[in-house]
Amino acid sequence: MASSSTNTNTGKTKILPDSTDDDEHTEVEDMEEDEDEDLEHFDDFTLASSWERFISEIEAVCRLWMSDGPKNLMVKGAVLLEYSGNLYKVTSETKYALKTYCMEYYFETNPSDDAGKPANWNLDLHDLQLCFGVKEFLVIAPQSASGVVLDAPEASKLLSAVAIALSNCSSLWPAFVPVHDPSRKAYIGIQSMGTVFTRRFEADRIGSQVPIKLMHLEGLYELFVSKFAYSTLDLSVHNFKVRIAMKLTFRTLPFDEDYMKDFDSKINKSEENLTGETSSGTQWDDDCSWSEWYSAEDPVKGFELITIWSEKMVESSMEMAELENASPHEAEKWLISLRLEGSKESRVGFASQLHLLVDALQMSFEAHFIEDFVSAENPGSDNLKSSMVIPSPAVRDRVLKELFIEGVQFSDFTDGGYKTSRSVKGAPLESLFAQFCLHSLWFGNCNIRAISVLWIEFVREVRWCWEESQPLPRMAPNGSIDLSTSLIYQKLQMLAICIERKCQMNEDYQDCIGSIDHIDSMTEEESVVGDDLLSIQTPSEIFPGKVDRKPEDMDLYKDKKSSNFTRRGSAGIVDSMMLLKSYQSMHAPYTQEPPLMTEDMHEERMQAVEAIGDSFNFSAQLEKDILTSDMSAFKAANPDAIFEDFIRWHSPGDWEADDDPESSGSASSNALEINKSKDSWPPRGKLSKRMSEHGNMWRKIWSSSPALPASEQKPLLDPNREGEKVLHYLETLRPHQLLEQMVSTAFRAAADTLSQTSYGELKQMETKIQQLYPTMASALRPLQVNRLSADSETIEDFRRLCVVFERVEKLLTVAASLHRKLIRAPRLSREIFNDYYNFYIPTMGTSLIEEVVEKEFDKKQEVRNHEREVLSNMFVPPTANQSWRKVLSMGNLLNGHEPILREIIFSLHDRVSGNHYAARSGSVSQEIETYRMYICGTSNDLRVALSVVSCD
């Protein structure tokens, strides 16, 4: 640590260097004791030249940096370099001769003996560290547009000033000055070795006029040898070994159409396609889930492969020639890096179209009816027509044909996919409405006019299916109404069921007419025999309770001529239960299914019940139609039944049985238990208080219910009425109500589509997709309230959701591309994606504008030996259609590919001694790099950096 002494008379601080030398320590003490002598001989800077003041300023800054040390410099604001995790920089400005210079000090936080050793090809090294093998260093450059010193005398004078300042500080930092044109990356530098030796640095670039000899390793080796063969150092030209390290960088060709064809054929030849899919398409994403809607630009533009030969000893140019012919597969280490798309243009995908759909939602509040957006009478129609284009009728017809294609079966994707998809109130991916929303994203670039035109034609097609009794495509014709979905989807569910029921009614009617004609043609004897068969029902299995299904082969008119037929609509015996007033087993009737209701029908019915008041029991009022139907069916199946029998079957909780071990309380259905129940006849018990009170509504309904089987009852669901109500809803839907449901469904359908993408075992990607659904559900929840407006802040929340969706979509595209290209190296694919994920995830905020990331992704992964063949296959031989120029070969070819960059380090080491800072009692001998030459470039663009240790 530097020490300081202050003169109390002048206030001037003199900084003294640290020293472990006893003699120097004594000199410091003598200087402190003799203050008067210091006062008489202090430097008068008023008489000093500008050159001396410049050196003094540099010296002061360097002393300050040395005094602070790395830790304090980091506290004071040292900047971490982007490409390095260990190299920091501090800066200071100084002036000389009307020019301002910037001085930069680069240092590491955890220096060690081998830190920054270039032979290790540390990927975090600064350019000057790699070129000259230094660890910490100083750079001084002018504050100008070029940032270099163009005048050679000025550069030498500037470097001399820094060297003198560092010498005064007893600093061993190497100092560099950038010279010549900035594109040449030329430097001159100097470093005191702390001995009688000084190291000098020089770097420059040879342009397009590179001698042919320097294009090959043999010629470069001879160039290096010529630098020290006749030096003053005691080295024998014929007895030395040069250390050499080499790094080659290969780059795959652009992943265009021709490349992907060759790449696919090469993989298929090497081994079977592990995905079981064939790549017959010409686009990279033909087998991806989103390819039905758009073709994404491949984010992975290629790979850079770095092959490294670590330090080895070479004694002759012949050995260099052999190394030039060596295959990259012989390199000790392989590293791979990803080349991503560099364009900043907006990408076309689900996210971009969802953003347009949100804009359409905001505009949908400007009109009351869908037709207003396509009608000339609309006040804003001129503005709409000028800015929004409606596709041609041919395009519209093609979309409708795809939507209403015949024979398409409905399949609910969420049953087998991400179950969190149901948290978003939309429609299943394969349903008709979800497909309409996805088509709308691309129809007319998703503007409000195009959506309105498509919706009107969509509803017309739906009405045609209804009127012609044609099945509604992409909708299940049976089942229950899913109230967790959007209302439009529920309405289309209802309509699909109504169409199916209407078709069944028409078929039943035709069957009934045919049965009547058949009965009229029967003889009286045949008719009696048929009635006897119907009156004796012995089902093959005993039904345990209420049966909600229609009887098969039930003829409604066969009992017209038979007085013996009394039981109708029986589905079988109910366990061991028997009727209270007759010696007969109880039969379960076929009953109608409960009436189907959509979400708005439930709300209307509840509002109606609330309007009636408390005089009616809510549950009885809500189920009155169902109770009437069930009681009529029960009476038809059990002609001798009473009200208590129905309660025992329909609502066992309202029948209080006596605690009699002899009573028929067994639930077994075997013959022994039935006989035992008959022996304990009649069963004993009573109705509950609720059912036995005076004026009970259930009893009133029982009294008024006729004995009719389910097949003869009026349907609880009138398909004609309910179908027309659905169509009325679709035809009169307000624009904003349509767009609100479209936004919610489109987000869900787009996420469901993307989640089907095959991207391998990438846990981060799977987690990100799973997190997307709750994020969408939370952001889209206001759409369920129907309280939005054009200027609502919720619209901005939807736009933020589009940005989040876009970032997940971008991650997924990278993951899919990596998985496809590295399918035979899954570990490598995972590691590269993990690096990219950690690089990209900090930018995934919720702002409306995506942050521009200046830093490029350049993380490198080491390739294991068994993965080298996979990487090698990516370097397919160039074709005639690809832009690839033939150059003079530098050797080390990989499947016909030359390295795009070759880096070589030649070095010569020697042991030196004589450190004049060491104690006089002995000397220190150490091995130093006396000669070093770093060569970087291609066969027509060569950069050479040379450092030489010489004796002053």
pLDDT classification of 377: cutoffs 50, 70, 90:
low
Question: What's the full length of the chain, in residues?
Answer: 952
pLDDT classification of 385: cutoffs 50, 70, 90:
low
Q: What is the mean pLDDT of residues 693-705?
A: 87
Structure tokens at 106: 């680069």
61-97: string of b/e by CB count within 10 Å (b at 16+)? bbbbbbebebeebbeeebeeeeebebbbbbebebebe
Q: Report the percentage of the chain scoring pLDDT > 90.
A: 40
Residue 691 CB contacts under 8 Å (≥ 6 apart), including other chains = 647, 651, 654, 698, 699
Backbone angles phi, psi at 574, to 5 degrees: -95, 100
- What pLDDT is recorded for position 558? 38
Lowest mean pLDDT among 231-235, 479-483, 906-910: 231-235
pLDDT at 664 over 70: no
pLDDT at 12 over 90: no
Torsion of CA 194, 195, 198, 199, to 10 degrees: -70
- What pLDDT is recorded for position 514? 53
- More confident site: 713 or 141: 141
Between the two ends of the chain, the Cα-to-Cα distance in Å is: 28
Backbone angles phi, psi at 312, to 5 degrees: -140, 160
> Do residues 240 and 258 lie in contact, with contact meaning Cβ atoms separated by under 8 Å?
no
What would the DSSP string read from start to end of 289-319?
GGGGT--PPPSEEEEEEEEEEEEEEE-SHHH
Rg (CA), the chain: 45
Backbone angles phi, psi at 948, to 5 degrees: -130, 135
The tokens 């008119």 sit on which residue? 557
User: What digits encode the pLDDT tens for the residues 345-359?
Assistant: 567 899 999 999 999
How many CA atoms lie less than 13 Å away from 166 in the CB half-sphere? Answer: 25
- What pLDDT is recorded for position 348? 83
Distance of alpha carbon 798 from alpha carbon 399, whole angstroms: 27
- What pLDDT is recorded for position 379? 47
The tokens 């309904």 sit on which residue? 701
- What pLDDT is recorded for position 855? 65
Distance of alpha carbon 907 from alpha carbon 948, whole angstroms: 10
- What pLDDT is recorded for position 51? 87
194: region left, alpha or beta (phi > 0 left; psi from -120 to 50 alpha): left
H or E element, residue 937: strand 925-938
**Which residue blocks in 34-186 are alpha helix, DSSP H?**
35-41, 50-75, 127-132, 152-168
- What pLDDT is recorded for position 903? 93
- What pLDDT is recorded for position 865? 93
Measured on CA atoms in the order 203, 207, 213, 214, is the torsion positive or negative?
positive
- What pLDDT is recorded for position 429? 93
Distance of alpha carbon 495 from alpha carbon 433, whole angstroms: 13
Instruction: Tell whether omega for the bond before 709 is within 30 degrees of 0, i.e. cis.
Output: no
- What pLDDT is recorded for position 715? 83
Burial of 700 (0-12, 13-18, 19+ CB in 10 A): exposed
pLDDT at 747 over 90: yes
pLDDT classification of 59: cutoffs 50, 70, 90:
very high
User: What digits encode the pLDDT tens for the residues 473-518?
Assistant: 999 888 889 999 999 999 999 999 999 988 887 776 555 555 545 4
708 closest CA partner among 557, 586, 569 = 569
219 closest CA partner among 320, 295, 287 = 320
Beta strands 137-142 and 175-179 are parallel
Q: Residue 531 to residues 508, 513, 584: CA-CA distances in angstroms?
A: 21, 19, 20
pLDDT classification of 579: cutoffs 50, 70, 90:
confident
pLDDT at 280 over 80: no
- What pLDDT is recorded for position 275? 35
pLDDT at 610 over 80: no
Q: Residue 197 to residues 128, 516, 923, 929, 949: CA-CA distances in angstroms?
A: 21, 122, 15, 12, 6
Q: What is the mean pLDDT of residues 769-794?
A: 86
Range with the largest mean pLDDT of 153-157, 519-523, 921-925:
153-157
Q: Report the percentage of the chain scoring pLDDT > 70.
A: 72
- More confident site: 805 or 48: 805
pLDDT classification of 107: cutoffs 50, 70, 90:
very high
934 closest CA partner among 921, 945, 942, 950 = 945
pLDDT at 539 over 80: no
**Domain ranges within the chain, ordered by starting residue:** 50-237+904-914+923-951, 350-480+721-823, 570-595+597-655+686-715
- What pLDDT is recorded for position 397? 95
pLDDT classification of 259: cutoffs 50, 70, 90:
low
Per 3-state DSSP, the chain is made up of helix, strand and coil in percentages (nearest 5) of 45, 15, 40
What's the DSSP call for residue 590? Answer: B
pLDDT at 45 over 80: no
pLDDT at 2 over 50: no
Torsion of CA 418, 423, 429, 431, to 10 degrees: 140
Distance of alpha carbon 885 from alpha carbon 12, whole angstroms: 67
**Which residue blocks in 413-486 are alpha helix, DSSP H?**
413-416, 432-442, 448-467
- What pLDDT is recorded for position 268? 53
- What pLDDT is recorded for position 689? 86
Q: At what angle do helices 317-324 and 217-228 cross, to 10 degrees?
A: 150
pLDDT at 17 over 80: no
SS3 annotation, 203-225? EEEECCCCCHHHHCHHHHHHHHH
Lowest mean pLDDT among 181-195, 237-251, 676-690: 676-690
- What pLDDT is recorded for position 276? 34
pLDDT at 109 over 50: yes
- What pLDDT is recorded for position 447? 93
pLDDT at 102 over 70: yes
In this structure, the number of other CB atoms found within 10 A of the CB of residue 391 comes to 16
Distance of alpha carbon 507 from alpha carbon 494, whole angstroms: 20
H or E element, residue 92: strand 87-96
Strand partners, 902: 248, 937
Strand partners, 250: 305
Lowest mean pLDDT among 314-323, 748-757, 875-884, 937-946: 875-884
- What pLDDT is recorded for position 382? 54
Distance of alpha carbon 547 from alpha carbon 545, whole angstroms: 6
158 closest CA partner among 166, 902, 949 = 166
pLDDT classification of 686: cutoffs 50, 70, 90:
confident
Beta strands 137-142 and 99-108 are antiparallel
User: What digits encode the pLDDT tens for the residues 630-651?
Assistant: 999 999 999 989 999 999 898 8
| Average per-residue pLDDT for the chain | 78
pLDDT classification of 682: cutoffs 50, 70, 90:
low
Q: Residue 105 to residues 70, 88, 175, 352: CA-CA distances in angstroms?
A: 11, 8, 9, 46
> Do residues 132 and 934 lie in contact, with contact meaning Cβ atoms separated by under 8 Å?
yes
Backbone angles phi, psi at 769, to 5 degrees: -70, -40
Distance of alpha carbon 804 from alpha carbon 847, whole angstroms: 9
Look up the pTM and report it: 0.75
- What pLDDT is recorded for position 20? 42
User: What digits encode the pLDDT tens for the residues 825-874?
Assistant: 999 999 999 999 998 887 655 455 555 445 678 889 999 999 999 999 88
Residue 279 CB contacts under 8 Å (≥ 6 apart), including other chains = 260, 264, 273, 286, 287
Q: What is the mean pLDDT of residues 722-728?
A: 95
- What pLDDT is recorded for position 19? 40
Structure tokens at 946: 């040379």
Range with the largest mean pLDDT of 223-227, 314-318, 672-676, 750-754:
750-754
- What pLDDT is recorded for position 847? 53
Lowest mean pLDDT among 422-431, 643-652, 921-930: 921-930
Structure tokens at 672: 């022994």
In this structure, the number of other CB atoms found within 10 A of the CB of residue 363 comes to 21
Distance of alpha carbon 140 from alpha carbon 197, whole angstroms: 23
